[in-house]
Amino acid sequence: MKKVIVLFALFGICALFSSCNLDDDGQNFRFTTLEVVEVDVPEFFELNKTYDIEVTYLRPNGCTFFEGFDVTRTGETNRDIVAIGSELTNNTACTEAIEKVVAILKFNVIYSNEYKFRFYTGNDAADKATYLEYTIPVQ
């Protein structure tokens, strides 16, 4: 009986070390900012309601995928918003076509003061961040 147990243990160890090749060539993607080109915001907010804000961004190629929004609170009702994507870097053949894509930013209104949004649109010629800015009152 001991020989059977030892045989199964040896078989298991051999299978463990020979069945998987986990060569890790490193990270195969990187995070990147996406350029926002248009935002559809409501004329006003109502307190304690959640809104779907349509954000149109540019997808620069077929290897870049939308991951979400980075929302930074810069004041009680001020928000800086950046669309974040991930780009494959493992030499995958990608289409170079730029396409406009719409993503939904869910936003919950919890303050009665007007909200100020700044959506990142990229950098200008002087390498300074540029934004689409919106002020939305709360009724």
| Phi then psi dihedrals of residue 9, to 5 deg | -65, -45
Residue 85 near residue 32, CB atoms below 8 Å: yes
Confidence at residue 90, expressed as pLDDT on a 0 to 100 scale = 80
> Which has more confidence, 6 or 35?
35
Domain residues of the chain, as ranges? Answer: 26-136
Residues 33/82, Cβ–Cβ less than 8 Å: yes
Q: Contact, 85 vs 65, CB < 8 A?
A: yes
* Pairing label, strands 115-123, 78-88: parallel
- Model confidence at 23, in pLDDT bands (50, 70, 90)? low
Residue 123 reports pLDDT greater than 60: yes
pTM greater than 0.85: no
Residues paired with residue 48 on neighbouring β-strands, in sequence order: none
